[in-house]
Amino acid sequence: MTQDEINQMVEQAGFHGMLSIGVVMDSKQLQAFAKLVAAKEQERCCSIVFAQCESDNVAQRTVDAIRGEA
C-alpha cells in the first residue's frame, strides 16, 4: 500500500488532517479506517491469487474464501 493510498483512506475515514495536528481520534473513525485498510489488503491478496493460480476455478474459490463468501 502506498502512502498516497493510506492518506486517501485516512481522509475517507473522516480524519481530515487530524493526524497531523495530534487530535485524539473518534472510535468510529478508527473503525472505519481499519475497515478500509483491511479491504485494501484483502483486494491485494485476491489479485495475487488470481495472478498465481493456473486455474481460474481454484483462484475464484480461494478469493471467495478470502472474502468470506465461501
* Residue reference for cell 485524539: 24
Residue 15 has pLDDT above 70, yes or no: yes
CA atoms within 13 A on the CB side of 47: 6
Q: Using CA atoms, how far apart are residues 45 and 41, in angstroms rounded to an integer? A: 6
Q: What is the pLDDT of residues 30-65, one digit of tens each?
A: 788 888 888 999 999 999 998 888 888 989 999 999
List the domain boundaries for the chain.
Answer: 3-66
What is the number of residues in the chain?
Answer: 70
Task: Judge if pTM exceeds 0.85.
Answer: no
DSSP state of 54: S
